[in-house]
Structure 1
Amino acid sequence: MTEQTAPPADVAVPATTTLPPVPEDPPPPPVQEEGPAPATPRPPRRVLRAVLRWTAAVLVMGGLGAGTAAGITSMKRTDVPGLATRDDGRWDYPALTLPALPADAPRPFSDSNTAEVHHADLRRLLLPAPAGATVDKALDGGWVDTARYVTEYGKGDRAALTQHLKDSALRHIAARGWTMEDGTSSRVYLLQFNSVAYSTAFIDEIFDEGGSLPIPLTGMAEPTYDEDWTATAGAEFTTAHVYSEPEPHGAEQVRHAYVLAGDTVALVVQSRKGEAGTEAVPFHQTLILQNQLLG
């Protein structure tokens, strides 16, 4: 038996076609005494449209948020604006670049450079002052003499250090100093000798021929090891000796460090007057960056 298919609504039905009888409507159900249960009202179309719009917005924002989170978690901290300069005490230093070497000059720690000589201009290897600093006009990144350098030490040690520097193969000293708004004073000295043998001999002199602690600087008591310093923080082939002045300190607190990097010795000093003293974070930051320039 072949099933008949109803013609489309827009096609005229032939007059000879017999349509099946339309069934009568079924009788209504009996009315119960307590009355019918109220039908759930349909929400207005305006409400439905609003719900749909908010649902779509939530889905879109969720997708964007997931993409942004994935992007941030895959980035380095210093690549994320706002996180790179969070207020943890770090100073805002400019981008650092190594100066160009003379033609055919080797790097200080290459195999062919047995004396570990820095052939770049020593003044170009000085760490620049950070943003917001007031530069010391006497330590503006140029050359300084031995007399200026030994003022960092107590008067009783200056004559012996001056004589040692005269007897050694010291080539020159470059220095830069600055003061931050909070009163922290920084000085960086780079002493370059003829070879790593002479720079090492100078470090031995600073440690009083094998002493465990270096000669104290001006304005500080006996220095102690900086326990917050990580030995692996320095550049390869360099050695950092890091010290701080313990509590209770005097009128000012002094932190300092020596970096032995081939033919060059760096002295990094930070001091601040007052009870608060110096902060470890900017001192370590300054030391690491200067270390990297020499490495």
Structure 2
Amino acid sequence: MNEQQSAVPAPAEPTAPVEPALPAAPTPSPAVPEAPRPPRRALRAVARWTVALLVFGGLGTGTALAITSAERTDVPGLATEGDGRWDYPKLSLPALPAGAPRPFTDANTAEIHHADLRKLLLPAPAGATPDKALDGGWVKQERFLAEYGAEHRDELAQLLVDTPPRHIAARGWTMPDGTRARIYLLRFNSTAFATHVRDELRIGHSTHPTLAGVEETAFETTWTFSRAVEGVASYSLTEKAPHGAAHTRQAYSGAGDTLALIVHERPGKKEAARIPFHQTVILQNQLLG
């Protein structure tokens, strides 16, 4: 018996039965016509809609739970039909050296990435043509500097001399619609060095170094996303209209000792699609986090 239920009282002593008085005969009431029954077809339709609502309600709840409970080490990169996302493969974080902590744990106050930087690069999605020059390996500083307009390269070259990165890894690919994607990961000797380079890039300011072929960019101040990663800060920019031979979107992500540059560039009059660009940034951040 439940402890919160009241105890059942003891039965009372039996008493002599009392003959009940016979009630008076009821006065018959006028007959009320029976309400017509709804047609069987209408009943079946109501039943079908009720079941459908219950099924869709259950599916919606299940989907929400699946999304909100997704582990960061098992990130779904597959597309939702019709929303323009690219079909990325299933992602997982690389193995760490024995005893090495993740970058944003209590045991890693310096926020250092101990994994191989090349393993932290986002893989190309399905249908992409790999860039042979940016195959996921190491690249020289000159290749990274070539992403910027010629008028900015000397300044940036000096910045990397004063605050040299330990390594630069990069991957690029081209999608069937012509969009060219490139990701650079720069790892520095400390989080302070990475933050200094990020600040010197003057992201979002009118004087920040622009990429090659880009006239002017706008800082996406209103962009928010639900898959934010603790410890990773993103700054997203898009080329202002009218653009030249191609439209470019770019983002910088700061993650401890590592700085990422993410570029989507689409030749022609159409803009580089916003949804796959933000998808690329989010997934790359999850690998860095």
TM (norm. structure 2) is 0.75
- How far apart are the structure 2 equivalents of 1:192 and 1:250? 32
Map of 1:241 onto structure 2: 235
Aligned in 2, Cα 1:61/1:182: closer, same or farther, shift over 3 Å?
same
Aligned to 1:101, which of 82, 96, 105?
96
Map of 1:251 onto structure 2: 245
Aligned to 2:138, which of 136, 143, 158?
143
> 1:153, 1:218 within 8 Å by CA — same for their partners in 2?
yes
- How far apart are the structure 2 equivalents of 1:173 and 1:259? 14
Map of 2:195 onto structure 1: 200
My pick for the range that moved more, 99-108 or 56-65, is: 56-65
Q: Does 1:263 align with 2:257?
A: yes
Map of 1:158 onto structure 2: 153
Query: Aligned AA for 1:191?
Result: L
> 1:109, 1:237 within 8 Å by CA — same for their partners in 2?
yes
Aligned in 2, Cα 1:78/1:92: closer, same or farther, shift over 3 Å?
farther
1:158-184 CA-partner distances (Å, limit 9, x unpaired): 122223213324110110001111111
User: What SS does the corresponding residue of 2:62 show, helix, strand or coil?
Assistant: coil
User: What SS does the corresponding residue of 1:74 show, helix, strand or coil?
Assistant: helix
Matches within 5 A, 1:276-295: 276-295=270-289
Aligned in 2, Cα 1:138/1:78: closer, same or farther, shift over 3 Å?
farther
- How far apart are the structure 2 equivalents of 1:279 and 1:150? 25
- How far apart are the structure 2 equivalents of 1:84 and 1:75? 18
Aligned in 2, Cα 1:270/1:241: closer, same or farther, shift over 3 Å?
same
- How far apart are the structure 2 equivalents of 1:240 and 1:199? 14
Instruction: Give the aligned CA root-mean-square deviation in angstroms.
Output: 2.8
- How far apart are the structure 2 equivalents of 1:282 and 1:66? 32
Matches within 5 A, 1:78-93: 85-93=80-88
> CA shift at 1:234, angstroms?
3.1
Q: Does 1:75 align with 2:62?
A: yes
Highest CA radius of gyration, 1 or 2?
Answer: 1
Aligned in 2, Cα 1:212/1:235: closer, same or farther, shift over 3 Å?
farther
TM (norm. structure 1) is 0.73
Query: Aligned AA for 1:118?
Result: H
Map of 1:123 onto structure 2: 118
Map of 2:6 onto structure 1: none
Aligned in 2, Cα 1:252/1:106: closer, same or farther, shift over 3 Å?
same
> 1:226, 1:242 within 8 Å by CA — same for their partners in 2?
yes
Aligned in 2, Cα 1:60/1:281: closer, same or farther, shift over 3 Å?
same
Query: How many pairs align?
Result: 241
Query: Aligned AA for 1:121?
Result: D
> CA shift at 1:232, angstroms?
6.5
> CA shift at 1:137, angstroms?
0.8
> 1:229, 1:284 within 8 Å by CA — same for their partners in 2?
no
Map of 1:39 onto structure 2: none
- How far apart are the structure 1 equivalents of 2:86 and 2:119? 20
> CA shift at 1:84, angstroms?
5.9
Q: What percentage of residue pairs aligned between the two structures are identical?
A: 51
> CA shift at 1:226, angstroms?
1.8
> CA shift at 1:111, angstroms?
2.6
> 1:213, 1:223 within 8 Å by CA — same for their partners in 2?
no
